[in-house]
Structure 1
Amino acid sequence: MADGGSGDIALRLPVRGRAVTVVGSDDRAPAVVGALLSAGATVTVLAVRPAAYLSDLAERGLITLWQRDFEATDVEAADLLFAHTGVAATDRRIAELARRHGLFCIAADQPARRPERERNGRVIVVGGGPGDPGLLTVAGREALGRADVVVADRLAPVGALNDIAPQAQIIDVSKIPGGRRTEQDDINAMLIEHARAGRTVVRLKGGDGFVFGRGGEEADECVRAGVTVEVIPGVSSAIAAPAAALIPVTHRGLTQGFTVVSGHVPPEHPDCTVDYTALARANTTIVLMMAVANLAEITRALLDGGLAPGTPAAVIADGTLAGQRVVRADLATIAAAARSAAVRPPATTVIGAVAGFVPGRACRPLAAQLSG
């Protein structure tokens, strides 16, 4: 059988544990794949030129990706098929082939775009939260529901768009660590272009757009271009990921503050502006973002700055998501422990007494907590 439209069908079908194949990589495909993953499906994507978001999911082992065209034999490996090639005739052909094999296929609609207006549109910077779509704010959901265009980052809750923004054009501007990326100048130009065409543009980011999200830069460029900008804050993963691992960034008797630092460049890099010696002496919780690749160099700088080797530390990978993992060690060994556990971005590192805190237990030394 074939059906038209995949707006919220992926969330309603009983796909948990089912093999689902998505053919193509049109602007709706990332949202469909994200929704299917949230619903528990085992997803395979066939696309000659996959969106960066889909490539990233494959690199993280969340989907199987084949960079090739659809073949007739592909219907034999799936329980359900989605056709998202971006070419209506091709999608219909795939759906018809599936029907002949008794396979249910959902062919993509061509969304009815809202009419363009003569007046300027606007840009709404929405913080999408740390990953779990349930942590997207009410205001963020409402903005997405009104969007004509959604410009989405890699760590944004893209799967939620299949239900929340079924008619919006979705533009994937993922920046993959060490891989494909959309340059910031191109993103800025894209936001301005769509807003000037009279569209409501939601710039959807992971976490909070103003916490290492370059939301301030985008807002500045839009305002300079005469585009109206609104900001809807999001739940920052700097706090939410540790909380999801039951690690408070502050705790009475342990610390009276926390410092959030970007670790995207190592301490000796010319672009690094962090004083790690001062940070080591600050006596606050240290939260490192984007620090997976440089964790060994950063912990060495903190040790050299005087922070005790036995200081508790933890790395939370994929915080708030179903695949969340927590690696605990101390400052001297956390980088090796994370490497041994094959931790990959996104991950949040917490260094300080709170990283050794275990609810329900007295605040004991780290070794005792780990062995208990």
Structure 2
Amino acid sequence: MAENPAYPVGLRLTGRKVVVLGGGQVAQRRLPTLIAAGADILLVSPEATPSVEAMADDGEITWERRPYADGDLADAWYALIATGDKEANARASAEAERNRVWCVRSDDADAATAWTPATGHSEGVTVAVLTTSARGRDPRHTAAIRDAVVEGLRDGTLVAPHHRTRTPGVALVGGGPGDPDLITVRGRRLLAEADVVIADRLGPRDLLAELPPHVEVIDAAKIPYGRFMAQEAINNALIEHAKQGKSVVRLKGGDPYVFGRGMEELQALAEAGIPCTVVPGISSSISVPGAAGIPVTHRGVAHEFTVVSGHVAPDDERSLVDWPSLAKLTGTLVILMGVDKIGKIAETLVAHGKSADTPVALIQEGTTAAQRRVDATLATVAETVRTEDVKPPAVIVIGEVVKVGPSPSA
């Protein structure tokens, strides 16, 4: 007769006693989920891994440093048996059976009364995958199924329609530096669920091609501005579509709050009573240098890095940057939106004490197939930009870290 399949169920363990026997790698993997479930956890084990010991030190679990003893499972709701002592495991399993405590055994699934599924999470949904019987169990196969489902939910390739009315609103999503794979999984999921996407020119354009046909895609650079300033027109477009009951994603390059005017848009939405979610993105100030082989910090070379907007020149009265102070810093200087002003910037830094030989790297179209790195010094960078025809968008890195990695021609 075929073995009956396991009956799947979700245990609500908040405030309920859970006993874990053994403080090794199995416990280290399982304990965080039990802690997140709010269980009152008793760990019984003579020893524990450093990570498990840290959980006890932080008060997340109670640790009794001794072997298992009969009676340890009294009043427990759930038990995880994971010691290296098979005889102790068998005695504990028998106690669980007598006391009707659901029990998982890491050494013998057939002797257990419960199995731990391969689990994953995505925005309030828990995915749990179980094989149908103990015999022939393949944990790698169940984990692979779990991973495929969770990844599909996260990146939007597996879309489950919402049968309850979604709350309309706006999500300000940082799309990262350009490579579509560098958007966050939450950002990608929100894109897949959007009705309207208002995209920046510097956002990851390849992601737009993956959107369902019903999604309205609006190029922010082509919104009719009329009598409005460009940013005000974008704000109005966000509000207009959200008020129509639509789910709107404002897709930006990099991070919404790093020279992305994200706060201006959030403030406008708040004034209009529109709910807004902010999804951080990978900033080009760190990721683009990294993609070009340049660490913005490095032991013994740079203990700090400063990110500066270069969209106005140092001698422009609108500039808020203290360039003389920046010239005195010994760390890394990262300049965004500064290609056409780099000559004046370099001149100002040198005039206030920065060595003219300070290395400079310009990374154009960073993280994309068109990425290009051009190296110079403060003394030569203005001429290099002209002769090499460096165009925006480009990230400029100034400092000794430019020379840390392998040569760009290597």
> Taking CA–CA contacts closer than 8 Å with sequence separation of 6 or more, which of the two structures ends up with the larger relative contact order?
1
User: Structure 1 residue 329 and structure 2 residue 376: aligned?
Assistant: yes
Per-residue deviation, residues 193-223 of structure 1 (Å, max 9, x unmatched): 1111111100000011110000111011101
**2:182 is matched with which residue: 135, 141, 151?**
135
- What is the CA distance between 1:358 and its match in structure 2? 2.1
Distance 1:309 1:125, change over 3 A: same
CA distance in 2, matches of 1:371, 1:187: 42
Q: Which has the larger displacement, 246-255 or 329-338?
A: 329-338
Runs of 4+ off more than 3 Å: 117-120, 369-372
Q: TM-score, normalised by structure 2?
A: 0.57
Matches within 5 A, 1:272-351: 272-351=319-398
The CA RMSD over aligned residues, in Å, is 2.4
CA distance in 1, matches of 2:179, 2:282: 10
Question: What letter matches 2:356 in structure 1?
Answer: P
**2:299 is matched with which residue: 232, 249, 252?**
252
User: Per the alignment, in what secondary structure is the counterpart of residue 174 of structure 1?
Assistant: helix
CA distance in 1, matches of 2:359, 2:302: 13
Alpha-carbon contact 2:373-2:408 (below 8 Å) kept: no
User: What percentage of residue pairs aligned between the two structures are identical?
Assistant: 49
Q: TM-score, normalised by structure 1?
A: 0.62
Distance 1:318 1:182, change over 3 A: farther
Per-residue deviation, residues 81-133 of structure 1 (Å, max 9, x unmatched): xxxxxxxxxxxxxxxxxxxxxxxxxxxxxxxxx9xx99962000000010011
Per-residue deviation, residues 290-340 of structure 1 (Å, max 9, x unmatched): 001101001111011100111111000010111111111111111211221
CA distance in 2, matches of 1:136, 1:347: 19
Alpha-carbon contact 1:128-1:235 (below 8 Å) kept: yes
User: Structure 1 residue 156 and structure 2 residue 203: aligned?
Assistant: yes
User: Per the alignment, in what secondary structure is the counterpart of residue 221 of structure 2?
Assistant: coil
Question: What letter matches 2:248 in structure 1?
Answer: V
Matches within 5 A, 1:170-319: 170-174=217-221, 183-319=230-366
Distance 1:138 1:166, change over 3 A: farther
1:34 is matched with which residue? none
CA distance in 2, matches of 1:298, 1:339: 15
- What is the CA distance between 1:243 and its match in structure 2? 0.5
Unmatched 5+ residue regions in structure 2? 1-160
CA distance in 1, matches of 2:401, 2:282: 20
Distance 1:325 1:371, change over 3 A: closer
Count residues in correspondence: 245
1:111 is matched with which residue? none
CA distance in 2, matches of 1:175, 1:267: 30
